Chain A
Amino acid sequence: MRILRYLLKKEYLQIFRNKGMLPILFAMPVFQLLVLSFAATYELKQAEFAVVDFDRSILSHELVQKLQASDIFKLNAVYFSTEHALEEMEAGNIKMLLTIDAGFEKNIKSGKSAPIQITVDAVDGSIAGLIQSYSSSIIAEFNAEKLGKVKMSSAAVVLPKSVNIIPSNWYNPNLDYITFMVPGILVVLVSMIGIFLSGMNIVREYEMGTIEQLNVSPIKKWQFMVAKLVPFWTIGMFDLCIGLALARFGFNIPFLGSLVTILTIAGIYLIVIQVLGLLISTLTNTQQQAMFIAWFLMVIFILMGGLFTPIESMPLWAQNLTLANPVSYFIKIMRMVLLKGSGWQEVYKMVLVLVGMGALFLGIALNRFTKTSA
Chain B
Amino acid sequence: MSELALKVEGLTRMFGDFTAVDNISFEVGQGEIFGFLGANGAGKTTAMKMLTGLLTPTSGKASVSGFDVYTQADQIKQSIGYMSQKFSLYDDLTVHENIEFYGGIYGIDSRLLTQKIKEMISNVGLQQVERSLVKSLPLGWKQRLAFSIATLHDPKIVFLDEPTGGVDPITRRQFWESIYEAASRGITVFVTTHYMDEAEYCDRVSIMVDGRIDALDTPGGLKNQFSAKSIEDVFIQLARSAKRGEDAVI
A-B interaction: yes
A residues with a Cβ closer than 8 A to B are 2-3, 5-7, 9-10, 13-14, 17-18, 208-210, 212-213, 215-219, 373-374
Residues of B within 8 A of A212 (CB): 54, 82, 84, 88
Evaluate contact between B105 and A219: CB separation under 8 angstroms: yes
Contact present for A216 and B82 (CB under 8 Å)? yes
CB-based contact B54/A215 at 8 Å: yes
B100 proximal to A (CB < 8 A): yes
List of A residues within 8 angstroms of B82 by Cβ: 212-213, 216-217
| B107 lies within 8 A of chain A by Cβ | yes
- CB pair B74–A218 under 8 Å, yes or no, is yes
Interface presence of B5 (CB below 8 A): no
Name the distance in Å between A215's Cβ and chain B's nearest Cβ.
6
Contact status of A218 and B88, CB under 8 A, knowing A9-B101, A10-B101: no
> Residue of B at shortest CB range from A211?
B88
Q: Annotate B75-93 by CB proximity to A: 1 below 8 A, 0 otherwise.
A: 0011010101110111111
Contacts of A2 in B (CB 8 A): 104, 107
> Which residues does chain A contribute within 8 Å of B84, judged by CB atoms?
209, 212-213
Q: How far is the CA of A263 from the CA of B102 in the complex (A)?
A: 35
Query: How far, in Å, is A238 (CB) from chain B's closest CB?
Result: 22
- Distance of A365 Cα from B104 Cα, bound (Å): 27
For B74, list chain A residues within 8 Å (CB).
218
Does B14 belong to the interface (CB within 8 Å)?
no
* A100 CB, min distance to chain B CBs, angstroms: 72
B contacts with A: majority SS: loop
Chain A min CB distance to B174 (Å): 23
Which residues on the A side are within 8 Å of B77 (C-beta)? 216-218
**Is B52 an interface position by the 8 A CB rule?**
yes
Cβ-closest 10 pairs across A and B = A6-B104, A213-B88, A209-B86, A216-B82, A218-B77, A216-B52, A210-B88, A218-B78, A10-B101, A217-B105
B100 to chain A: which residues have CB within 8 Å?
6
Once the chains are docked, how many angstroms separate the CA of A210 from the CA of B102?
Answer: 12
- In the complex with contacts A13-B93, A216-B82, A209-B106 CB distance below 8 A: no
Q: Which residues of A contact B85 (CB under 8 A)?
A: 209
B56 at the interface (CB under 8 A from A): yes
Q: Are A14 and B90 in contact, CB atoms less than 8 angstroms apart? A: yes
Q: What is the minimal beta-carbon distance from A48 to any residue of chain B, in angstroms?
A: 55
A2 CA to B106 CA, complexed, in Å: 9
Whether B90 pairs with A216 at a CB distance below 8 angstroms is: no
- Shortest C-beta distance, A357 to chain B (Å), equals 32
Which residues of A sit under 8 angstroms from B52, Cβ to Cβ?
Answer: 216
Out of A13, A208, A213, name the residue touching B91 (CB < 8 Å): A208
Contact A218 B92 (CB under 8 A): no
Query: A216 and B80: CB pair below 8 A?
Result: yes
B97 CB–A CB distance under 8 Å: yes
User: When A209-B86, A216-B80 are in contact, do A7 and B55 touch as well, CB less than 8 Å?
Assistant: no
Q: How far apart are A184's CB and chain B's nearest CB, in angstroms? A: 35
Docked-complex contact B90 and A10, CB < 8 angstroms:
yes
Most chain A CB within 10 A, of B86, B93, B105, B159, is at B105
Bound Cα distance A302, B4 (Å)? 60
Question: CB within 8 Å of A: which of B31-61?
Answer: 52-56
Asked if A17 and B92 sit within 8 Å, CB to CB, the answer is yes
- Which chain A residues border B106 with CB–CB below 8 Å? 217-218
With both chains docked as a complex, state the minimum distance between the C-beta of A283 and any C-beta of chain B, in angstroms: 21
CB-based contact B101/A3 at 8 Å: no
Distance of A308 Cα from B224 Cα, bound (Å):
81
Alpha-carbon separation in the docked complex, A18 to B92 (Å): 8
Which partner residue on chain A sits nearest B85 by CB separation?
A209
Q: Give Cα A296 to B119, complex, Å.
A: 50
Question: What chain A residues lie within 8 Å of B90 (beta carbons)?
Answer: 10, 14, 208, 210
A6 to B92, Cβ gap below 8 A? no
Report chain A residues within 8 Å CB of B80: 216
In the bound complex, do residue A6 and residue B54 qualify as a contact, i.e. CB atoms below 8 Å apart?
Answer: no
**A18→B133 CA distance, assembly (Å):** 12
CA distance in complex: A10, B106 (Å): 14
Q: In the docked arrangement, what's the CA distance between A213 and B93, Å? A: 15
Contact B101 A209 (CB under 8 A): no
State the CA gap A6–B113 with chains docked (Å): 12
CB distance from B146 to the nearest CB of A (A): 9
Q: How far is the CB of A18 from chain B (nearest CB, A)?
A: 7
Task: Return chain B residues, CB-CB under 8 Å to A13.
Answer: 92-93, 97
Tell me the minimal C-beta distance from A273 to chain B in angstroms: 25
Interface centre among A13, A17, A213 (most CB of B within 10 A): A213
